């Protein structure tokens, strides 16, 4: 196998991996740093990645361009995926999590309810593949904090088998 064939095979594997994941940019921040030569501007991007089958991850990427930052964030998120225990189309039990100033409440909902959640929580829950859930953001309105709080809440969920 020559070098070109190996490269094509590697590209095919990464594109197959990328196609199975749902990516959503939650927040883009412009950051500037004062230096002797002037201002250095860069971007910080928060991305949520999920397969909509119970796995979800969050990544923060920083770069001079948006696309580079998104790519970095998505790569990090895919490497740090979290498996969420599901009970059909919803979560197994209610959970309240505090993460810094953010406080997020997630409650299971009957079939057909849909995702009743605010912006940042909605993105994480949909990426995880949860179809019926009720949530409430009780603390800060900071999107990044709410995304991380939601991820922490999903990580603390236990399946019914684990509880018994």
What's the pLDDT at 125?
A: 96
SS3 160: helix
| Listed residue (108, 110, 105, 93) closest to 136, CA to CA | 105
Strands 22-35 and 38-50: antiparallel
Q: What is the pLDDT of residues 102-122, one digit of tens each?
A: 999 999 999 999 999 988 999
91, with CB counted inside 10 A (0-12, 13-18, 19+), is: buried
Domain boundaries, the chain: 3-82, 85-163
Q: Could you tell me the CA-to-CA distances from 145 to 5, 8, 141 in Å, in that order?
A: 44, 39, 8
Given CATH 3.30.230.10, say whether it is the number of domain 85-163.
Answer: yes
What's the pLDDT at 91?
A: 94
Report, as ranges of residue numbers, the positions in the chain whose pLDDT lies below 70.
1-19, 163-164
Provide the β-strand partners of residue 23. Answer: 49
The two tokens of residue 160 are 């019914």
What's the pLDDT at 159?
A: 84
Out of 3.30.160.20, 3.90.1150.10, 3.40.50.800, 3.40.50.720, select the CATH number for domain 3-82: 3.30.160.20
What are phi and psi for residue 115, nearest 5 degrees? -95, 110
pTM, two decimal places = 0.85
- State how far the Cα of 143 lies from the Cα of 47, in Å rounded to an integer: 11
What's the pLDDT at 51?
A: 94
What's the pLDDT at 70?
A: 96
Helix or strand holding residue 48 (H, E): strand 38-50
């Amino acid at each position: 196998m020559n070098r070109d064939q190996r490269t094509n095979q590697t590209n095919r594997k990464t594109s197959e991996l990328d196609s199975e994941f749902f990516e959503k940019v939650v927040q883009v921040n412009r950051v500037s740093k004062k230096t002797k030569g002037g201002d250095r501007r860069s971007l910080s991007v928060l991305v949520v990645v999920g397969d909509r089958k119970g796995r979800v991850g969050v990544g923060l990427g920083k770069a001079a361009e948006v696309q580079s930052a998104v790519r970095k964030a998505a790569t990090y998120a895919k490497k740090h995926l979290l498996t969420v225990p599901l009970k059909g189309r919803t979560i197994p039990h209610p959970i309240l999590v505090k993460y810094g100033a953010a406080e997020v409440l997630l409650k299971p909902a009957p079939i057909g309810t849909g995702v009743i959640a605010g912006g940042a929580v909605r993105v994480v829950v949909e990426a995880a593949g949860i179809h019926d859930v009720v949530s409430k953001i009780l603390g800060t309105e900071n999107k990044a904090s709410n995304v991380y709080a939601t991820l922490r809440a999903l990580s603390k969920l236990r399946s019914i088998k684990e509880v018994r």
